[in-house]
C-alpha cells in the first residue's frame, strides 16, 4: 500500500503541509517495500486555478491508495474519491508522526471535503 | 468607437461617469450605446431607464467525454491551461466551473472522444433607454465563477456605428483585462484616497501593457491628496476632468438620477471628457486602423 503525505520536505522528519492542492509536494511511502518517494507539486502549487484536482491526479499517478493531509477541498476530494484513494485528515507535525498515527489506526477517514475550496 | 470607463477600486464613480457621459453625448446628438460589462453587479440600467426588449441566454462550450472512446491517454488533461480536466485510468473528469470553453481538448484528443456540449452562464438583456440610448448588459448566474466569457458576448453586441460607452467591472484582474482588450479609449476614474491611487497605479500599468490609450478623471476631487497629483505628473497622465467633491452627487446617485440634470454645474466637466472622446475618435479616423463614428 502506498501512502501520500503532504509536506514541504523530503524526509520522514519533514513537517507536514496542512494544505493539499497547494502543498509543496508529497512523500509517498510504500508500506510493502519501505521505499520513500518524493513527488513534487510545484507546478500545481503555482497554478492559477485547479491546483487541488491536479494534485489529486498527481498522487493518483504516483499510485497512492491513501492520502494524509491537513485539509482537502471539495473538487480535490471528488477526484481522490473517483480514483479510489482514501483521505485522512491529520494535524501531525511531521510526516513520520502522521504515518505513525495512521499505522496505529488513530486517523479517521474523511467522508467528505473538510474545507471549502481556496481555504488557506 | 469603444470607450471603456474603469477604475480598479470600486465606488470611485465609474457608473456615474459612464452614465453621465452617455447622457452628454446623446444630448450632443450622437448615437450612443451603453454597454454594462459589470456582469456580476450590473446597475447601469437603472440610470439609463432601460426597457428590455430582448433576453438572450449566454452559453459557453463545455466538453463532454465519451468514456468508451477515451483511452485515458491524458493529452487533454496535460494541455488544458485551466486545469479543468483530470485524467484517471478509465475516467476522464471535466470540471465545468474551471473550464473556459476554449475547445483545445477537442482538438488534441487523438480518439475524438470529446464532443461539444454547452452550459448556460448567464443572460444578455438588450433594449433602449432615455434619449435614444441603446442599452445592453449581461447578468451572470449566481455562483458562476467566470465572468469573462459573458463579458465577451456582451461586447459582441456592440454597434459599430455608435459611440459605445462601456462600464467596466471593478478590479484590475481578468474581467477588467477582458473589458479593455479592444478599447479605443480607457477612461480611468480615480479618487483622492490611498485606495484609489493604489488601484489607479495597477490599472494604468495593465492598460498600458495592453497598449490602450488612457486618460484620467478624478472624482470627489478636493485637490489636497498630493501623492495622486505626484503620480499623475510623474507618469504624464492626462487629467481630463476633476469632478469636485460634493455630497449632493452621492444623493443624486443614490436616487438613480442623472447628475447632469440635477447639478448642471458638472456639465462643463463632461464637456471636457466628451472632447477627449472626440479627439481620440479623430486620431483613430486618421490611423490606418479604421474609421469611427
Residues of chain B with CATH 3.30.70.20: 60-120
Tell me if B84 and A50 make a contact (CB, 8 A cut-off). Answer: yes
Of B39, B4, B45, nearest to B179 (Cα)? B4
When scoring A45, A50, A58 by the number of chain B Cβ atoms within 10 A, the one with the most, hence best to mutate, is A50
Domains belonging to chain A, first-starting first, are 2-103 (3.30.420.130)
When scoring A22, A52, A53, A76 by the number of chain B Cβ atoms within 10 A, the one with the most, hence best to mutate, is A53
What whole-number distance in Å separates Cα of residue B288 and Cα of residue B149?
29
Tell me if B95 and A82 make a contact (CB, 8 A cut-off). Answer: no
Distance from the Cα of B93 to chain A's closest Cα (Å) equals 8
* Chain A partners within 8 Å of B93 (Cβ): 53, 78-79, 82
Tell me if A47 and B83 make a contact (CB, 8 A cut-off). Answer: yes
| Cell (9 digits) for B291 | 474609421
B30 CB-near residues (< 8 Å, 6+ apart): B163, B293
Residue A80 contacts B where some CB pair is shorter than 8 Å: no
Residue A82 contacts B where some CB pair is shorter than 8 Å: yes
- Indicate the Cα dihedral angle A51, A55, A58, A60, nearest 10°: -130
Tell me if B91 and A75 make a contact (CB, 8 A cut-off). Answer: no
A 10 A CB-CB count for A112 gives: 10
Q: Residue-wise pLDDT tens for chain B (293 aa)?
A: 999 999 999 999 999 999 999 999 999 999 999 999 999 999 999 999 999 999 999 999 999 999 999 999 999 999 999 999 999 988 999 999 889 889 999 999 999 999 999 999 999 999 999 999 999 999 999 988 889 999 999 999 999 999 999 999 999 999 999 999 999 999 999 999 999 999 999 999 999 999 999 999 999 998 889 999 999 999 999 899 999 999 999 999 999 999 999 999 999 999 999 999 999 998 887 765 544 44
Q: Which CATH architecture group holds B1-30+162-287?
A: 3-Layer(aba) Sandwich (3.40)
A vs B, Cβ pairs < 8 A, gives 37
CB A29 within 8 A of CB A102: no
* Chain B partners within 8 Å of A51 (Cβ): 83
Please give the CATH topology (third level) of the domain spanning B60-120.
Answer: Alpha-Beta Plaits (3.30.70)
What whole-number distance in Å separates Cα of residue B107 and Cα of residue A54?
21
Q: Is A47 helix (H, G, I), strand (E, B) or coil?
A: coil
CB B11 within 8 A of CB B196: no
* DSSP alpha helix (H) spans, chain B: 14-27, 44-48, 75-79, 104-108, 148-155, 174-180, 194-209, 226-234, 247-254, 259-262, 267-285
pLDDT for res A20 = 94
Amino acid at each position: 500500500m502506498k501512502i501520500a503525505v503532504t509536506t514541504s520536505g523530503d524526509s520522514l522528519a519533514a513537517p507536514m503541509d496542512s494544505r493539499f492542492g497547494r502543498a509543496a509536494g508529497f512523500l509517498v511511502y510504500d508500506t510493502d517495500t519501505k521505499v520513500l518517494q518524493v513527488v513534487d507539486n510545484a507546478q500545481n502549487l503555482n497554478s492559477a486555478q485547479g491546483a487541488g484536482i491536479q494534485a489529486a491526479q498527481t498522487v493518483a499517478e504516483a499510485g497512492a491508495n491513501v492520502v494524509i493531509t491537513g485539509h482537502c477541498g471539495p473538487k480535490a476530494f471528488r477526484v481522490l474519491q473517483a480514483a479510489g484513494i482514501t483521505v485522512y485528515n491529520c494535524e501531525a507535525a511531521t510526516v513520520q508522526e502522521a504515518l505513525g498515527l495512521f499505522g496505529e489506526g488513530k486517523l479517521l477517514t474523511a467522508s467528505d471535503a473538510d474545507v471549502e475550496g481556496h481555504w488557506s | 468607437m469603444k470607450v471603456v470607463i474603469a477604475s480598479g477600486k470600486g465606488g470611485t464613480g465609474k457608473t456615474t461617469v459612464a452614465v453621465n457621459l452617455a447622457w452628454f453625448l446623446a444630448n450632443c446628438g450622437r448615437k450612443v450605446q451603453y454597454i454594462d460589462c459589470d456582469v456580476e453587479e450590473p446597475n447601469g440600467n437603472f440610470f439609463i431607464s432601460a426597457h428590455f426588449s430582448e433576453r438572450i441566454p449566454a452559453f459557453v462550450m463545455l466538453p463532454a467525454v465519451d468514456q468508451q472512446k477515451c483511452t485515458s491517454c491524458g493529452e487533454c488533461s496535460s494541455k488544458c491551461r485551466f486545469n479543468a480536466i483530470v485524467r484517471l485510468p478509465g475516467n476522464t473528469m471535466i470540471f465545468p466551473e474551471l473550464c473556459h470553453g476554449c475547445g483545445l481538448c477537442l482538438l488534441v484528443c487523438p480518439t475524438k472522444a470529446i464532443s461539444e456540449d454547452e452550459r448556460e452562464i448567464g443572460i444578455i438583456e438588450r433594449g433602449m433607454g432615455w434619449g435614444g440610448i441603446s442599452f445592453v448588459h449581461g447578468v451572470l448566474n449566481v455562483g458562476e465563477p467566470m465572468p469573462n466569457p459573458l463579458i465577451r458576448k456582451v461586447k459582441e453586441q456592440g454597434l459599430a456605428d455608435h459611440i459605445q460607452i462601456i462600464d467596466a467591472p471593478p478590479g484590475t484582474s481578468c474581467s477588467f483585462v477582458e473589458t479593455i482588450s479592444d478599447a479605443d479609449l480607457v477612461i480611468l476614474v480615480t479618487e483622492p484616497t490611498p485606495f484609489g491611487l493604489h488601484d489607479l497605479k495597477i490599472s494604468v500599468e495593465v492598460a498600458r501593457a495592453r497598449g490602450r490609450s488612457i486618460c484620467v478623471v478624478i472624482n470627489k476631487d478636493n485637490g489636497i491628496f498630493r501623492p495622486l497629483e505626484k503620480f499623475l505628473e510623474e507618469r504624464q497622465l492626462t487629467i481630463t476632468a476633476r469632478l469636485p467633491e460634493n455630497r449632493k452627487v452621492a444623493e443624486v446617485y443614490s436616487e438613480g438620477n442623472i447628475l447632469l440634470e440635477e447639478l448642471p454645474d458638472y456639465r462643463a466637466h463632461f464637456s471636457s471628457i466628451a472632447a477627449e472622446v472626440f479627439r481620440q475618435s479623430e486620431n483613430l479616423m486618421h490611423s490606418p486602423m479604421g474609421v469611427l463614428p
